Amino acid sequence: MSVAMPLGPVMLDVAGHRLTDEERARLCHPLVGGVILFARNYADPAQLSALTAEIRALRSPALLITVDHEGGRVQRFRTGFSAVPAMGVLGRAWDADPDTARALARDAGRVLASELVAHGVDLSYAPVLDLDYGVSRVIGDRAFHADPEVTVALASALIDGMADAGMGCVGKHFPGHGFVEADSHVDMPRDARDLAAIEAQDMKPFRQLAGRLAGIMPAHVIYPAVDARPAGFSSFWLQTVLRGQLGFTGVIFSDDLTMEAATEAGDIVARAEDARAAGCDMVLVCNRPDLAEMLLARWQPPVPAELTERLCALHARCADDAVRVGSAAYEHARQQLAALAGSVRFA
């Protein structure tokens, strides 16, 4: 029987294909509001469906189940799922034929989201709205294009496709990660540009799409000409700019607080507290169950009563029959993506 309790501000991961007793207890902690899945949590479609059902049955309302599943090199579930091309492939298709590229982006959103929803996943951390300046080691072809207007057009089509399939979307990495070379997983990137330069280019997709995004994830990047703190720990970026100037009303997810670029804030409790104080609604703690245990044992934040309602609004809804897995529209979209990618393995 599921336990009735509100959803909290912590997003955790799990180790394998099934929950352990320790993980079940951890996921029932009042501070936990969701789970992020990784490739290690996936064996095949049936196993994934069983795992998400097990997670969903723990609590009422159900924990939010999420994944980084963008396409290209960031696609956690592969065998038995369609191969979605990197978003940069859609950008190159735009350079050849914008109308065709828009249609392909919507196809990508439909396939990506409908397959996740069919297996019990609520939300993917996509699309990447960073611009491709050709320098970032971690972004690269995860970005649609170097042109912010092209990025907006293709991201809008992808968002439409995801919505067709019953899924919201999370834009990342605000206010833009593409200009710096360093990888925030292992380093602290610094973008020396001033606010005007960032607003003129990188922030355009976030500004134009803020009303269509269910969530936004800030960058673990410092913009020293603007603020001394990384964007995910900066009340200026998250409250003054994102909430105030851009009018964003969705959920702000921190990037993983175990990444190297997050350690400048201190221990895991200090990182979570600083991210929350800056404006993050949800904090992610991944790949370190010891830190997850420490956070749950020591952190005592106020939990807004409306957080549960906002997270429940992100639960996936059933896809329209027209684009549901197995429908004619779904199969057509898969074929279009296969032709674009050249060679893919299907279920």
Domain boundaries, given as residue ranges, for the chain: 3-341
- Give residue for tokens 């997810």: 253
Q: Is 76 annotated as a binding residue?
A: yes
pLDDT, mean of residues 317-343 = 83
Angstrom distance (rounded) from CA 67 to CA 299: 25
Judged against a pLDDT cut of 70, whether residue 342 lies above it is answered with no
Mean pLDDT of 168-183: 91
What is the average per-residue pLDDT within 6-12? 97
Of 259, 307, 314, the residue nearest 122 (C-alpha): 314
Alpha-carbon distances of 67 from 77, 148, 200, 216, 238, rounded to whole Å: 9, 25, 31, 14, 23
Bridge partners (DSSP) of residue 123 are: 66
**pLDDT for residue 4 is more than 90:** no
pLDDT digits (tens, 9 = 90+) for 271-288: 999 999 999 999 999 999
Residue 95, annotated as binding a ligand = no
Question: Residue 184 pLDDT > 90, yes or no?
Answer: no
Q: Is 290 a catalytic residue?
A: no
First to last CA, the chain: 33
Q: Annotated binding residue at 56?
A: no
Query: What percent of the chain has pLDDT above 70?
Result: 94
Say if residue 345's pLDDT is above 50: no
Q: Is the pLDDT of residue 181 over 90?
A: no
Written as one string, the DSSP assignment of 47-62 is HHHHHHHHHHTTEESP
Supply the pTM of this predicted model.
0.94
d(Cα 158, Cα 169) in Å, to the nearest integer?
Answer: 9
Tell me if 26 is assigned to a ligand binding site: no
Average pLDDT, integer, range 283-294: 95
pLDDT digits (tens, 9 = 90+) for 185-226: 566 789 999 999 999 999 999 999 999 999 999 998 999 999
Class of domain 3-341: alpha beta
Q: Which amino acid is at 15?
A: A
Give the active site residue among 185, 315, 320, 332: 185
185 is catalytic: yes
315 preceded by cis ω (within 30°)?
A: no
Can you give the pLDDT at residue 346?
Answer: 35
> Residue 137 has what pLDDT?
81
Q: SS3 for 268? A: helix
pLDDT for residue 344 is more than 50:
no
Quote the pLDDT of residue 2.
Answer: 76
What does the alpha-carbon distance between residue 37 and residue 124 come to, in Å, rounded to a whole number? 10
Overall average pLDDT of the 312-337 stretch: 88
For residue 190, report the phi and psi dihedrals to the nearest 5 degrees: -130, 125
Q: What is the pLDDT of residue 150?
A: 98
Express each pLDDT in 105-134 by its tens digit.
999 999 999 999 999 999 999 999 999 999
State the Rg of the chain over Cα. Answer: 19
Question: Nearest CA to 107 among 134, 87, 79?
Answer: 87
From 1-10, 271-280, 313-322, 328-337, the region with the lowest mean pLDDT: 313-322
Whole-angstrom distance, CA of residue 130 vs CA of residue 171: 9
Mean pLDDT for all residues in the chain: 93
Percent of the chain with pLDDT over 90: 84
Q: Is 160 annotated as a binding residue?
A: no
What is the token pair recorded at 155?
């991201």
Query: Is the pLDDT assigned to residue 323 strictly greater than 90?
Result: no
Q: Which of 202, 255, 256, 281 is catalytic?
A: 255
